[in-house]
Structure 1
Amino acid sequence: MRVKLGDVCERGTSNLKLSDVSEKNGEFSVFGASGYIGSVDFYQQGYPYVAVVKDGAGIGRAMLCPGKTSVIGTMQYLLPKDNILPKYLFYVVKYMNLEKYFTGATIPHIYFKDYKNEEFNFDFWERQVEIVSVLSKCEKVIDLCKQELQLLDKLIKARFVELFGDPVSNSYGLPEATLPDLGEFGRGVSKHRPRNDIKLLGGKYPLIQTGDVANAGLYITSYSSTYSELGLKQSKMWDKGTLCITIAANIAKTAILEFDACFPDSVVGFIANERTNNIFVHYWFSFFQAILESQAPESAQKNINLKILSELKVIVPEKRKQDQFASFVKLTDKSKVAVQKALDEAQLLFDSLMQEYFG
């Protein structure tokens, strides 16, 4: 049966501000866009409900909240009627991707009046129970896979510190050198203006952007843009195995090319010499990324220049230990690939079930 969202829930509002919650110490939780933010000695909703971010960052994101809790004013209450389970309502709202209803440029907003008429497939109570059970099990698998990936990342960092100490303070007192001393080092090339000229694109030569690096793991295994012959002529092809380092928008994110590719001057390429290896340098950067990003000047977008990168002091342990660490990373990465595959399959199943149940 097709129904509208407004048929199964009612809108509720909150006038709570962060200042109403900070430094309070009650027994009733208050939630914001990123989750729990504090506790107070009162609550606005006595029964479970769905909360939607209606203002600012994360707009349209939904969360299921327990009874005897509240949200701050940037959130919207969706209060389930008697004909729908709260968690079923949560999955419905999640399926709808409400961020598409946003208005406003500086501070985006969404309004209940704009999305309350969106339709979805609605099932009877017993079927709702079944659907919630299936989707909950899928989400549990997804969460477990994500946790396992996080643990494997922590394991690699722990092994790095065990072998080389804290790279920020150089706690083991290891020799240091700059990236230009440790290999080939230079910015990507994109001479033509405008950079997005259609004549440059659509050929057979892979083009890597900052987002491709930031969204990769250890290796860049895919690409979404390509250069034409003209695009290649005004750029430079970097070899497979090159470490890509972002210096604009996404700061000091790194990943290793799994294929020959071009990239613009918002990405720096590094190819290690005999003193180091790219896997070691990739993980060395992981300890400094947040520091470099916080120090990056911001105009239209954050950026750092080649000079800053070229003057960084990289610890240089004996090559044997670096290679030992790289072998450990490659072994662990095989486990990560298997877990990521399971995660992708679970997410695909979850998405297809959401479409089947509500679409």
Structure 2
Amino acid sequence: MREGWEYKKLGEVCCPKNKIQRAARCFDSSDKILYIDISSIDNTMQKVTDITSVTFGDAPSRAQQKIEYGDIVVSTVRPNLKNIAIIDRYEPNIVASSGFCVLRNTECIERNYLFHYVTSDIFTQHLMKITTGANYPAVRDQDVRDSIIPLPPKSTQLAIVSELDKIKELIRLKKEQLKDFDNLAQSIFYEMFGDPVENDKGWEVMKLKEIVSDDCSISYGIVQPGDGVENGVPVVRPVDMTETFISRQGLKNTTKEISDSYKRTILKGDEILMCVRGTTGLVAMASPELKGCNVTRGITPIECGPSCNKWFIYYQISNPSIQQHIAEYTRGITLKQINMKDVREIPLCLPPLPLQHLFAQCIEQIEHQKAEVQKAIIDLETLLAARMQYWFE
């Protein structure tokens, strides 16, 4: 133990659970609320990015906890996904799912120190150890509150927060660079092809199902891949779609028997992968190293046919106009998804193939620059993890 440090339970440094107001006591059925559940959180940025506006009477039955600015929400359902966020909005009517443990700091702990700790790998690994349930993994709210946190003096907490904030800010700036590259790619797309929905340049329009290869069925992946097995078949999940190219490293495995029962979605390693559950319309590229892998129910592989270039299709699906089209066909509140029939019917413009290839050449140069930035992000994230381990272990 470091000199002057204490080790306390989260429940001792945060407000008791009974201090978190029950939504039913705060809202009438006609009141408008902002509802947060697991799908509301970007677990790579650890921020709330998607809040559903709904009347309290129409909200899911799990809409039970009224939360405030500065509260930290920790998912108790599938906690190993790092569905953790700090509420950064001053809205008076935010309601969180009962699937979150809500941590509200007291005077003895700095809020951002608490947030850094619960987003550290040390805390995540602890949650994984106390998680129970094979088909529906979860951890009890009380078990989260019983977790131990190292507690230095306030001045040390502030110094640690300052150090970790600086590294996180560098990571944020690098990620902004990636967004700038993506915006540049979309600008080139608009300049060459115009808006793909308005199609003011009069390109031929075809449905997605008409431009894929003959053996691409545009199908759902594995419904229940299981908990993971050693030396099995790697499976791509929506949570793995964090970069343009998906790496084989870190993927969970399913059995060969389960994978073989979904032969239509076994990857060749050159497909576009599109998310059809949760963040519908999100796309990523399958790299050659993914050959032989499979995907889960939330993803459909798209293999381009001879009439189209995959980079052109990738950026057309990523285009805001096509994303809006996908959003209009997305259904559900607690679990957003788009029917496969509607995916197959997505209309895409199809300029001459040489023009598509010219666009792809520009994109390959941009992707090279993005790869350099992504390497810098990985280095910074490694540094952040090392510093968190030093302070929190």
| Range of TM-score over shorter length | 0.5 to 0.7
Alpha-carbon distance, 1:318 to partner = 2.6
Q: Structure 2: which amino acid aligns with 1:218? A: T
C-alpha separation between the residues in 2 aligned to 1:22 and 1:265?
Answer: 35
How many angstroms apart in 1 are the aligned matches of 2:196 and 2:163? Answer: 45
Q: Find 1:280's aligned residue among 308, 312, 317.
A: 312
Structure 1 residue 281, shift from structure 2 partner = 0.9
Give the drift of 1:353.
2.0
Task: Give distance in 1, aligned partners of 2:76 and 2:355.
Answer: 47
Matched, 1:150 2:176: no
Aligned residue in 1 for 2:362 = 328
Cα distance, 1:172 vs. partner?
Answer: 1.8
User: Hey, what does 2:112 align to over in structure 1?
Assistant: 87
**Residue 242 (1) aligns with residue 265 (2):** no
- Corresponding residue of 1:138: 167
User: Deviation at 1:176?
Assistant: 2.4
Q: In 2 relative to 1, CA 76–358 (structure 1 residues): closer, same or farther, beyond 3 Å?
A: same
- Over 3 Å counting, the alpha-carbon distance change for 1:153 and 1:14 in structure 2 is same
Name the count of aligned residue pairs: 328
Distance 1:297 1:353, change over 3 A: same
RMSD of equivalent CA atoms: 5.0
Q: Which residue matches 1:352?
A: 386
Where do residues 1-359 of structure 1 align in structure 2 (5 Å cutoff)?
A: 1-4=5-8, 5-11=10-16, 12-13=19-20, 34=48, 50-53=70-73, 61-63=84-86, 72=94, 74=96, 78-81=104-107, 83-95=108-120, 96=123, 115-179=144-208, 181-185=210-214, 186-187=216-217, 208-209=235-236, 211=238, 215=241, 217-222=243-248, 223-225=251-253, 228=256, 235=263, 239-245=268-274, 251-259=280-288, 260-261=291-292, 263=294, 267-273=300-306, 275-287=307-319, 288-296=322-330, 302-305=337-340, 308-359=342-393
Aligned-partner residue type, residue 340 of structure 1 = Q
TM-score by length of 2: 0.63
Call closer, same or farther: CA 1:182–1:21 in 2, change over 3 Å. Answer: closer
Return the TM-score normalized by structure 1.
Answer: 0.68
Q: CA deviation at 1:276?
A: 2.3
Post-superposition Cα deviations, 1:90-136, rounded to whole Å, max 9, x if no partner, equal 43444446988999xx9x9975x654443222223443332122111
Q: Deviations over 1:174-228 (max 9, x none)?
A: 222344554514227899x997599xx8768x6554537x715433342543774
User: What SS is found at the alignment partner of 1:80?
Assistant: coil
Report if aligned partners of 2:70, 2:104 keep a CA contact under 8 Å in 1.
Answer: yes
Secondary structure, aligned partner of 1:255: strand
SS across alignment from 1:121: strand
Q: Is the 8 A contact 1:238 1:261 kept in 2?
A: yes
Amino acid at match of 1:157: Q
**2:277–2:335 contact (8 Å) kept in structure 1:** no
> Residues 316 and 188 of structure 1: is their aligned pair in 2 closer, same or farther, counting only changes over 3 Å?
closer
Q: Distance in 2 between matches of 1:202 and 1:127?
A: 42
Q: For 2:279 and 2:13, locate their aligned partners in 1 and report how far apart those are by CA, in whole Å.
A: 42
With over 3 angstroms needed to count, the CA separation of the structure-2 counterparts of 1:358 and 1:64, relative to structure 1, is farther
Distance 1:63 1:71, change over 3 A: farther
Q: Secondary structure at the match of 1:256?
A: strand
C-alpha contact 2:270 2:286 (8 A) present in aligned 1: yes
Distance apart, 1:139 and its partner CA? 1.3
SS at match of 1:170: coil
Query: Which one has a bigger Cα radius of gyration?
Result: 1
| Aligned residues of 2:225 and 2:254 also touching (Cα < 8 A) | no
State the distance in 2 between where 1:76 and 1:149 align. 32
Check conservation: 1:50, 1:62, Cα contact below 8 A: no
Provide Cα deviations, 1:256-279, integer angstroms capped at 9, x if missing partner: 332233547963442331x32111
Distance 1:261 1:290, change over 3 A: farther
Conserved 8 A contact 1:61-1:99: no
Q: 1:117 to 1:181 in 2, by over 3 A?
A: closer
Q: Which runs of 5 or more residues in structure 1 are unaligned? A: 24-32, 38-48
Give the whole-Å Cα distance in 1 for the aligned partners of 2:103 and 2:210: 57
Unaligned runs of 5+ in 2: 34-46, 52-68
Q: Which letter maps to 2:238?
A: G
CA contact (8 A) 2:113 2:161 kept: yes
